[in-house]
Structure 1
Amino acid sequence: MKKKIIMLAFLVSVVSFALAACGDSSKKETKDKKTLRLVTGAVKTLDSVKGSDEVSFNIIQNTQENLLIFKDNKIIPGAAESYTVSGDKKTYTFKLRKNLKWSDGKALTSKDYKYAWMRLLNSKSGAPYSFFLFGVVNGEKYFKNEVPASEVGIETPDDSTIIVKLSEPISYFTQIVAFPALAPQREDVVNRYGSKYGSNLNTQVYSGPFMVSEWQKGGKIELVRNPNYWNAKEVKLDKVKFTEIKESNTAYKMFVSNQLDVIAGAGEYLKPLKDGVKEGKWNEINEVGSSVFYTLYNLDSSNKLLKNKNIRLALSIAINREGLTEKVMRRNIPAYGLVPEGIQVGNINYRSEVSEPLKEVMNEDPKNLFIKGLKELGLDPDPSKYEINYLLQNSDAVSKMQGEYMQNTWKQVIGVNVKLVTSADFSDFLSKVDKGEFDMSSSGWGADYNDPMTFLDLFTPENGSNYGKYNDERVNELLSKIKTMTDDNEKLKIYKEVERIEVVDNPAVAPNYFKEIYSFQKKYVKGLELPRFGGTYQLRWTSIS
């Protein structure tokens, strides 16, 4: 998530677009009524505590107001007018703005933030992001039911103040505070709807710039401006319409026929879109994203092949990443590690100092490695006698095309049979991986904050997004050790070792590619942000000129 990216659907990666106007009458509606139309994947939940994916967080970050928010990928005040940090960097004191309100007119207070954060830490909530607050004093112990809620280092001495005490300094803590999973929640509303909270628009109240006005699952979700938002006068759009569109060719045709405002360039459509920029038809934004896409291994699968390290490494080495990005996708950057370019350890660019670990072993023979793994398992050493299921993120043509490329590669290079399993949509995919219904899956993760930890702690036992049930004692030990470290150079060494273990020595995943952003926008769209952290879009500063 932004982004969140959480697991990221291939559709969101390859074809993320903001949409507007259909025909002349729609154009008039867009400009006169300030309506922007966007494409979305299937939204799983509006409950920030239960959110785990970029698609859901995209709606949450535009309808709820965190204490701090991202603007141009930098932290600025949100509901908190100001905050201070103690000299030892362990205590954060946030002061809320005056007269904050929920969409139903009730006061928004510091207690709404504490309630949401404590619910995030409550193990009964099943929150994928509970580990985000383990650095708070007794946060992890409360999660493990070892201490009562009263001993957790989150205090609200009054309705406009929230004090957070950390066990050790966390250099990126303000970025965690700005992440959508830490949005406020109303205790009375959550209790009223129970397990249904966040499942439909009638169970929600909103604290952010927009409110959900319509939600047809499988079809669309619409937002309208929240008149009770503290900065409503600065919100330029009156309405935002998200529509589920699965096929990239449909979106491309709508874009060039002036029915859409923004489209991500991919495959065969990239060249004509770039030509349109040269002809002055629309603008282009091109940058390296903060997401990595990979093949996720389920170590808890009934298919015991995936329990062998050499078999997992063989499957990874066999992937032709240049062929995938250049011939199939015609975009993105081959990935031989987990951490993308631009992620920092303090002021150090991690990728500039640490080479991608998989590059060091790419000269090994993947078939021989696979056969070695079969022998270690006491199995027949013929790869063609085995089948592995590969779960796709969606049912669209792009997902199938990439899946078939991977399937054919593994068959040709190793000889193993791979069966493609199609998800109905991204929400169905998330449900399947959450239940462990896969051997391998096409998965991805977008940075939640600017530090390698956001990628490398994905595969720890306490991480709610560790769908493959990976558990390496050395990784756990190193990541636990780094929490008390302040020297960035020492952190860099540990991150380097952890990444090598997770990719080469005891693979949790097979990295496939780093996301490259090609965003083509109609010239009248202004201020549409594509944040590196959180959901897909930041809409509060968007306008149509």
Structure 2
Amino acid sequence: YEATFRLTATPEHAWDFSWFYSFLAEGGIKNWSKIVAGELPPEELGVRAVDDLTLEVETEGVFPPLPGVMKFAFTLQKKALEEYGPFYNSSVETSVSSGPFMLEEFDPGNKIVLVANPTYNGFRPPRLQRIECIYMDPSTMFAAFQNDEIDTVNYAYLTPADFELILNDPVLSENYLRHFGDFRTLYLLFDTFNPPFDSLDVRKAFAHAVDRDNIVPAVYGEIKGMPAHSMLMPGYPSSDTEGVLDEYQAYNCELAQEHLAKAGYPDGEGFPDQVLMLRGEGPARAALYQAVAAGIAECLNINIEVSNVDRKVYMDALNAKPTEVTFGAIDYGMDFLDPANMLGNVWKSGGRHSWKNDEFDQLVTDAAGMVGDPALRDQMFRDAERVLVDDVGGVFIAHEWAGDLFQPWVQGETIREPDSVGIAGMHWGNDQNMGDLYISNAKSE
């Protein structure tokens, strides 16, 4: 761990890792930012191997979610790292594995083959002897699945038409295992520092002009998404499972028109034409945002054009200071399971969005570092989300369900048995379930 963290913090490698560890904000690993900037040597990083079984991590401040974040801190082997460099696992000859599977073949852009590791004696020893991962055109994946050429397809590669077929087929629907995924939320964003979206009434007009309760089921269906009235998907820590926040952005076209008139644009008169910028979206999300834009335009009697641009073009424009995205649509899923991530890392001042609210910033900052009173911490995050939706930092559209379509013969308790909240499936981040999967006799029948 010590060698891995020091490598990832050095300026020549930091681009690969800073996007994640910088999320720790005030509670980040001590000296991380200074080492990334070249101001301190890697040896000053607050990560130390105390002994063979103990890792000590020193942070800049108190950060309760740190143990959960460390789940994603995959290590490199020190000897292989020193001998072959950080990409030694990209070659069969130099790859080192301490997990249930090991690399047998890697043909970039074509195929990855993993085989059971004969020396593995840890948690969930593998039932499968071989896993082949085939690169293919996403548009052909469902057809390949139907022809029994592949064993699973992730939801991201299934079109609305595919889902229609799945829902109407008893075998397919039984083997599509839906789950929370990374609690991803789709929303609209604004440049609130400049007209017209510096007006809270304009933002409220847009928020109340979205008929999400009808649009989301019509475009996505219940299998792929649910309407969102706030940032945190139900089931996420501190989320509004009771719907207390729904009223702040509930569809009400008459109220939306009143807010727009109050902002100085009665019946949309004089409101500047808008371009809703999308981040290289696929057909399903693009269709959802098109429907949302059309609904807002009709309700408010304004003009909205939708432009689906290249992902890099979008992110460069969004991150420009000042931002070059006046009105956009985007999505975000968790990096770690704590409101400090989905609220703080996304919406606090200085982040990727051009919105600032001092009360929100203070609530999130204080809650993120709080220990000893989990109930108060939870309430502070809930209060912060109320500020976010009421001040319309964004207009929340949908929470996406994730899921995977499996062949009936792909079995394993970790995907087939419901968890403590009644959800089965290949839960996001649960890489250890691969050791539990197996092919049943049903394939040969």
Whether TM-score is above 0.5 comes out as: yes
Q: Give the 3-state SS of the residue equivalent to 1:128 in structure 2.
A: helix
Alignment of 1:90-109 (within 5 A): none
Rate the CA distance shift 1:298–1:352 in 2: closer, same or farther, 3 A. closer
2:278–2:329 CA contact under 8 A, matched in 1: yes
User: What's the counterpart of residue 334 of structure 1?
Assistant: 227
The number of residue pairs the alignment matches comes to 412
Q: Give the 3-state SS of the residue equivalent to 1:413 in structure 2.
A: helix
1:356 aligns with 2:245: yes
1:357–1:500 CA contact under 8 A, matched in 2: no
1:400 aligns with 2:286: yes
Residues 383-419 of structure 1: CA deviation (Å, up to 9, x unaligned):
554222321433x432332232122112211233222
1:321 Cα deviation after fit: 0.8
Alignment of 1:459-474 (within 5 A): 459-460=346-347, 466-474=351-359
1:444 aligns with 2:444: no
One-letter amino acid of the counterpart of residue 382, structure 1: E
User: What's the counterpart of residue 475 of structure 1?
Assistant: 360
Rate the CA distance shift 1:144–1:267 in 2: closer, same or farther, 3 A. closer
- Distance in 2 separating the partners of 1:251 and 1:138: 45
1:456 aligns with 2:340: no
User: What's the counterpart of residue 391 of structure 1?
Assistant: 278
Rate the CA distance shift 1:215–1:318 in 2: closer, same or farther, 3 A. farther
1:494 Cα deviation after fit: 1.0
1:176 Cα deviation after fit: 0.7
User: What's the counterpart of residue 108 of structure 2?
Assistant: 215
1:413 aligns with 2:295: no
Percent of aligned pairs with the same residue?
14
Q: Give the 3-state SS of the residue equivalent to 1:510 in structure 2.
A: strand
User: What's the counterpart of residue 542 of structure 1?
Assistant: 437
1:176–1:449 CA contact under 8 A, matched in 2: yes
- Distance in 2 separating the partners of 1:281 and 1:320: 28
1:319 aligns with 2:210: yes
Alignment of 1:169-188 (within 5 A): 170-179=63-72, 182-185=73-76
1:458 Cα deviation after fit: 2.9
1:368 aligns with 2:258: yes
Rate the CA distance shift 1:297–1:205 in 2: closer, same or farther, 3 A. farther
User: What's the counterpart of residue 386 of structure 2?
Assistant: 500
1:391–1:439 CA contact under 8 A, matched in 2: no
- Distance in 2 separating the partners of 1:187 and 1:449: 26
TM-align CA RMSD = 4.5
Alignment of 1:273-284 (within 5 A): 273-277=166-170, 283-284=175-176
1:293 aligns with 2:178: no
User: What's the counterpart of residue 200 of structure 2?
Assistant: 309
One-letter amino acid of the counterpart of residue 215, structure 2: L
Give me the TM-score of the superposition, normalised by structure 1: 0.62
Alignment of 1:501-516 (within 5 A): 501-505=387-391, 507-516=392-401
Structure 1 unmatched ranges of 5 or more: 1-109
Give me the TM-score of the superposition, normalised by structure 2: 0.73
One-letter amino acid of the counterpart of residue 444, structure 1: D
2:404–2:426 CA contact under 8 A, matched in 1: no
One-letter amino acid of the counterpart of residue 154, structure 1: V
One-letter amino acid of the counterpart of residue 401, structure 2: E
1:329 Cα deviation after fit: 1.5
- Distance in 2 separating the partners of 1:440 and 1:459: 17
Alignment of 1:216-235 (within 5 A): 216=109, 222-225=112-115, 230=120, 234=126
1:521 aligns with 2:406: yes
- Distance in 2 separating the partners of 1:369 and 1:235: 60
Further displaced range: 468-477 or 480-489: 468-477
- Distance in 2 separating the partners of 1:503 and 1:231: 49
1:335 Cα deviation after fit: 0.7
1:156 Cα deviation after fit: 2.0
Q: Give the 3-state SS of the residue equivalent to 1:341 in structure 2.
A: coil
1:236–1:542 CA contact under 8 A, matched in 2: yes
Residues 294-353 of structure 1: CA deviation (Å, up to 9, x unaligned):
22425389x7434443333322221111222221111221111111122235xxxx4346
Rate the CA distance shift 1:133–1:387 in 2: closer, same or farther, 3 A. closer
1:231 Cα deviation after fit: 5.6
1:222–1:241 CA contact under 8 A, matched in 2: yes
Rate the CA distance shift 1:188–1:414 in 2: closer, same or farther, 3 A. farther
Rate the CA distance shift 1:270–1:487 in 2: closer, same or farther, 3 A. same
1:544 Cα deviation after fit: 2.9
Q: Give the 3-state SS of the residue equivalent to 2:184 in structure 1.
A: strand
Alignment of 1:52-201 (within 5 A): 110-116=1-7, 118-119=9-10, 127-129=18-20, 130-132=22-24, 134-136=26-28, 138-139=30-31, 142=34, 152-158=45-51, 161-166=54-59, 170-179=63-72, 182-185=73-76, 201=90
1:336–1:357 CA contact under 8 A, matched in 2: yes
Work out which structure has the larger RCO, using CA pairs closer than 8 Å and 6 or more positions apart in sequence.
1
One-letter amino acid of the counterpart of residue 367, structure 1: Q
One-letter amino acid of the counterpart of residue 396, structure 2: P
Residues 164-208 of structure 1: CA deviation (Å, up to 9, x unaligned):
2356664433221112xx3235799999999xx87x957x96656
- Distance in 1 separating the partners of 2:81 and 2:191: 35
1:333–1:515 CA contact under 8 A, matched in 2: yes
User: What's the counterpart of residue 382 of structure 1?
Assistant: 269
